[in-house]
Amino acid sequence: MATHPYIPNSVPEVRDAMLRAVGAASTEEFFADIPAALRMQGPLAIPAPHLSEARLKRHVDGLLRKNTHCASQLSFLGGGCYQHHVPAVCDEVNGRSEFATAYAGEPYDDHGRFQALFEYCSMMGELLEMDVVNVPVYDGMQAAATTVRMAGRHTGRRRVVVAGHINPDKLAVMQNYGRADLDFVLAPFDRASGLLDMAALAGLLDRDTAALYVDIPSFLGTIDDGAALAAAAHAVGALLVVGVDPVSLGVLAPPASYGADIVCGDIQPLGIHMNYGGGQGGFIASHDDPAIVMQYPSRLFGVVPTSVPGEYGFGDVAYSRTSFDKRENGNEFVGTAAALWGITAGVFLALMGPQGMVELATGIVQRTAYAKQRLARIPGVRVTHEGSCHFREFVVNFEGTGLPVAAINAALLKQGVFGGHDLSTDFPALGQSALYAFSEVHTQEDIDQLCATLEKVIGQ
């Protein structure tokens, strides 16, 4: 093995001099404690490397060329990961070497990291109208799973009622994550409206209920009446936990305003590329109630004065909550998650400002409404919850066309269009339906083109 650019001391002369300095004959000596039976006998059987950066790049670019991506196609996929325009400044900031390669420094050497994350939390706090926001967890699903555990610890109860129009993946994460200490019950939603069945819900909530968990907007794009849900949950002493699309908060009320106790969601839509699902990041927020704050497993950063008057410093709030401090006696666990996306979302919120967030959400509502009208006009196509309001997404039913969603999507793909997410497996009750998502990336022409392509596809 020649000297490798990533391994400076692989220079033979240097390596040998260092071995001499420590009095070792070879690096084998350092592994003396590893019994022979545990040692690998041959080299690792992995593919031959591309040692030069030039050939490595060519190899990986060749792989990536096998992908087709949403910047070159027309995509209407959503369902938890959303295509938005990512401001160049977001990429610039998260591409900075300093942020990209920092990790766990102290509040002094990493003052900027602490401040950037504190500011992210603070801006999320304004969006959510809540005083406490955590440093990001892995994704919105993890955030949801943690919020109901927080509710469980806070209330000392086991039962969690989950709105039935939840992303089934999210439900799976919550169940696996929580089931040692929580019992999950699904609340049904109305077929016609796509909204929760309030009567059924009332029957499910009881004095053992720790939390009612609901996504607003729901996985299907519908918008339940939060105040009614809050009343129902609070009536039995349960917490209302709301999962929210942060982009929707430019037009929808922050859950705190209608009584949510804990709010969570995913920050991916806030200036983070989709990255095949690698752009997710979870947030959790609440009021500044110490009893709730002490239930967070995540890191919480706080601003404090320093020894120099007028200067700000930052640090960990109530560190003793965490598994870092208390191992199994801390709350859940904490580790490396999605901090860089938190910083990025902060940049996004600062760029957008109040007016930008309102315009972004309003534009999406308008495009969604327009798309609903246009799609509903296509013969054989039905907007499933047409009478309800939607944010960003809605369910489109294709049964009238006689074609399964899979066939329609395959035909759309041939025309350079990624059709909506096929719901027929996860929500068989919805029949041959797909979830279509819209954002500010779509022009009227794009939506019209979708409809024209669908008409053509269906007509064939």
Partner 1 sequence: WDEPVIFELSQPGERGILLPEVEPEIARAAGQALAALPASMRRQNPPRLPEMSQNRVLRHYLRLSQETLGADLNVDVGQGTCTMKYNPKINDQLARQPAMTELHPRQPDSTVQGMLEVIAKLEGVMCEVSGMDTVSLQARGGSQAIFANMSMVRAWHESRGEAAQRDEVITTIFSHPSDAACAKLVGYKVITIYPDADGYPDLEALKAAISPRTAALVITNPEDTGIFNSRIREFVDAVHAVGGLCVYDQANANGLLGIARAREAGFDLCHFNLHKTFATPHACGGPAVGAVCCTAALAPFLPGPLVREKDGCYQLVPGGAQSIGKISSFAGAAGIILRAYAWVMNLGADGLRAVSEIAVLNNNYMMHELLKIDGMSAPYAPGKRRIEQVRYSWKALCDATGVTSEEIGFRAADFGLHYWTSHHPYLVPEPATIEPTESYSRTDLDEFISVMRHIAGEARSNPDLVKTAPHNCPTHRVQGEMLDDPERWGITWRAYQRKLGERGLA
Q: What residue ranges bind a second copy (CB under 8 A)?
A: 5, 52-54, 57, 61, 65, 71-72, 85, 87-88, 92, 95-97, 351, 440-441
Closer residue to partner 1 in complex, CB, 207/443: 443
Q: Which does 215 bind (CB under 5 to 8 A by kind): partner 1, a second copy, none?
A: none
Closer residue to partner 1 in complex, CB, 56/192: 56
Q: Which does 204 bind (CB under 5 to 8 A by kind): a second copy, partner 1, none?
A: none
Count of CA atoms in the C-beta half-sphere (13 A) of 100: 8
CB of 404 vs partner 1, minimal distance in Å: 14
Q: Which does 338 bind (CB under 5 to 8 A by kind): a second copy, partner 1, none?
A: partner 1
- Name 377's Cβ contacts closer than 8 Å, sequence gap at least 6: 451
Q: Which does 75 bind (CB under 5 to 8 A by kind): partner 1, a second copy, none?
A: partner 1
Q: Report the candidate in 281, 230, 243, 222 with the shortest Cα–Cα distance to residue 144.
A: 243
Q: Which does 380 bind (CB under 5 to 8 A by kind): partner 1, a second copy, none?
A: none
From CA 77, how far away is CA 263, in angstroms rounded? 25
Closer residue to a second copy in complex, CB, 65/66: 65
Q: How far is CA 220 from CA 75, 165, 361, 430, in A?
A: 17, 7, 17, 11
Assigned token pair, 84: 């938005």
Closer residue to a second copy in complex, CB, 376/441: 441
Strand, helix or coil for residue 284: strand
Mode of pairing for the β-strands spanning 159-163 and 209-216: parallel
**Angle at 332 (CA atoms; ends 294, 150), nearest 5 degrees:** 50
Residue 390: phi, psi to the nearest 5? -130, 150
Residue pair 440/363 in contact (Cβ under 8 Å)? The answer is yes
Q: Which does 199 bind (CB under 5 to 8 A by kind): a second copy, partner 1, none?
A: none
Closer residue to partner 1 in complex, CB, 107/206: 107
From CA 383, how far away is CA 400, in angstroms rounded? 11
Closer residue to a second copy in complex, CB, 257/443: 443
